[in-house]
């Protein structure tokens, strides 16, 4: 059995559909050569949804499982990231994925160094990492305004050499960057929309 919820999520672009499922992802960070880097995955092309899209490791929360435990378990199952090697420092705003019906909680986890990742075939095509400084490059980030599912909604994009990161993954990255530095669009102050300027809460 899986847990289902209704209502709005913090930082979401809209209200979750009735019966939305609870999911969690891990946002793994590590430092190398004095630079913070974030780990991303490319979903397998054979999956039922979001085929070949860039994502964070994660998945559906089990009935008797906490969200943070689900994020750590899925990261282990998908890319071999050992839970004991991750120090979870807090969570970002929950996000709604209206088209696939999830309320998703991102947890930020710190690693002591570069991990030896082992993507699982059938779930993850590849795992890679990018420096946060690249994501802050104005030539990499762009924002569009869309009218669906809500009027005048900000949609974020990160144009990497290998692909375009957008959707809920880009929203999570945008919020993360807004917490650690100036707004990715070059403005000062807390990034829009929502509460992205808040500080990370303590461990869950």
Provide the residue ranges of all domains of the chain, joining segments of one domain with +: 4-130
b/e for 111-145, b at 16 or more Cβ within 10 A?
beeebebebeeebbbebbebebebbbeeebbbeee
Q: Give the chain's mean pLDDT.
A: 78
* SS3 (DSSP) at 127: strand
pLDDT, mean of residues 35-55: 73
Q: At residue 23, does pLDDT exceed 60?
A: yes
pLDDT, mean of residues 169-182: 87
Predicted local confidence at residue 45, as pLDDT: 46
Task: Map tokens 């070949």 to a residue.
Answer: 52
Q: What is the pLDDT of residues 51-84, one digit of tens each?
A: 458 999 998 999 899 999 999 999 999 999 999 9
Cα dist from 178 to 67, 139, 168, 189, 193, whole Å: 23, 17, 15, 9, 10
Q: Structure pTM?
A: 0.79
Residues 6+ away with beta carbon under 8 Å from 67: 22, 24, 61, 91, 105, 107, 204
Q: At residue 183, does pLDDT exceed 50?
A: no
How many Cα neighbours within 13 Å face the side chain of 58? 27
Nearest CA to 130 out of 158, 172, 108, 156 is that of 158
The four Cα atoms 170, 174, 180, 182 give a dihedral, to 10 degrees, of 140
Question: Cα(50)–Cα(47) distance, rounded to whole angstroms?
Answer: 7
Of 25-29, 53-57, 86-90, 148-152, the least confident? 148-152
Question: Cα(12)–Cα(91) distance, rounded to whole angstroms?
Answer: 14
One of 3.90.79.10, 3.40.640.10, 2.60.40.1530, 3.30.365.10 is the CATH number of 4-130, namely 3.90.79.10
Q: What is the pLDDT of residues 95-143, one digit of tens each?
A: 887 667 788 999 999 999 999 999 988 778 888 999 999 999 989 998 8
Q: At residue 169, does pLDDT exceed 60?
A: yes
Of 25-34, 42-51, 76-85, 152-161, the least confident? 42-51
Report which secondary-structure segment, H or E, holds 133: helix 132-135
**Of 141 and 201, the one with more pLDDT:** 141
Q: What is the pLDDT of residues 75-93, one digit of tens each?
A: 999 999 999 999 999 999 9
Provide the percentage of residues in the chain whose pLDDT is more than 70. 70
pLDDT, mean of residues 6-12: 44
């Amino acid at each position: 059995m899986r847990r289902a919820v209704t209502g709005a999520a913090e930082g979401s672009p809209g209200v979750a559909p009735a019966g939305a499922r609870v999911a969690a992802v891990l946002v793994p960070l590590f430092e190398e050569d004095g630079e913070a880097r974030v780990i991303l995955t490319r979903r397998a092309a054979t999956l039922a949804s979001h085929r070949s899209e860039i994502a964070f490791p994660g998945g559906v929360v089990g009935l008797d499982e906490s969200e943070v435990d689900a994020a750590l378990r899925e990261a282990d199952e998908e890319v071999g990231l050992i839970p004991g090697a991750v120090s979870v420092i807090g969570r970002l705003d929950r996000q709604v994925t209206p088209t696939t019906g999830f309320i998703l909680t991102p947890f930020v986890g710190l690693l002591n160094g570069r991990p030896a990742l082992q993507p699982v075939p059938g779930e993850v095509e590849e795992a890679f990492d990018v420096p946060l400084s690249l994501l802050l490059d104005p030539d990499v980030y762009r924002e569009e305004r869309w009218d669906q599912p809500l009027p005048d909604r900000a949609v974020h994009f990160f144009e990497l050499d290998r692909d375009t990161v957008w959707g809920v993954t880009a929203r999570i990255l945008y919020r993360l960057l807004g917490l650690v530095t100036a707004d990715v669009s070059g403005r000062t102050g807390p990034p829009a929309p929502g509460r992205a300027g808040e500080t990370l809460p303590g461990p869950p």
